Amino acid sequence: MFVLVGLGNPGEKYSLNRHNIGFMLADSFATAYHFPPFKIKFSAAVCEGTIGKHKVILCKPMSYMNLSGQSVKDLIRFYKIPTSQTYVVHDDLDLAPGQIKLKLAGGNGGHNGLASLDQHIGKDYWRVRLGIGHPGRPLAHPDIVTQYVLSNFSNQDKKWLSQVLGVITQEADSLFGADPGVWLTKVFQNLKI
């Protein structure tokens, strides 16, 4: 069994924010693979289903981004899912819009959601990094960065966003338990951005 954690903030006002790209991907998986409706468990919206040959739990922590770690810890402990089978999808300011990277373990890069996860479950989980770009380099004021991640994707962004979410969803089966290079190759072969 695998778990895919989409990071984001609960509530309608945040639903289209750049910071909620993890929630968006979890929703895309749930729709495409006909998962049952999300139910609240472990302070998270959770549902279980099958993607290809893999049993997968989708998780959207409802405790806000900065406190995501506790609900994920409770979920993976209950289901006895090792962190090596835990995939966390999050926005990444350091990657260009639409760029995708996959990495096992590592630092949190200043991402508060990852910092919370690191504190509660350690660092040995998969990070699916989805680039959202940066509001200004080299030294954007922290308030500008916060405003940027908590603002909605622009109409121009929605073109690449739809394609990225669609291609990742299409290739979801090869994400779980496979060589990350194989999954990334399949994703990049189908992206047109």
Strands 86-92 and 100-104: unpaired
Mean pLDDT in consecutive groups of 10 residues from the start of the chain, 193 residues: 96 94 97 97 96 96 92 96 95 92 85 90 94 79 85 92 95 83 87 76
Please identify which residue in the block is written with the tokens 């060589």.
Answer: 179
Q: Distance between CA atoms of 28 and 149, rounded to whole angstroms? A: 20
Q: Write down all domains in the chain, each with its CATH number in brackets.
A: 2-184 (3.40.50.1470)
* Cβ proximity of 4 and 51 under 8 Å: no
The pair of structure tokens assigned to 84 is 């090596």
Catalytic residue check, 19: yes
Of the residues 19, 90, 111, 134, only one is catalytic, namely 19
- Please tell me the pTM assigned to this model: 0.93
pLDDT (0 to 100) of residue 108: 77
Q: Who contacts 114 (Cβ-Cβ below 8 Å, separation ≥6)?
A: 7, 88, 90, 108, 127
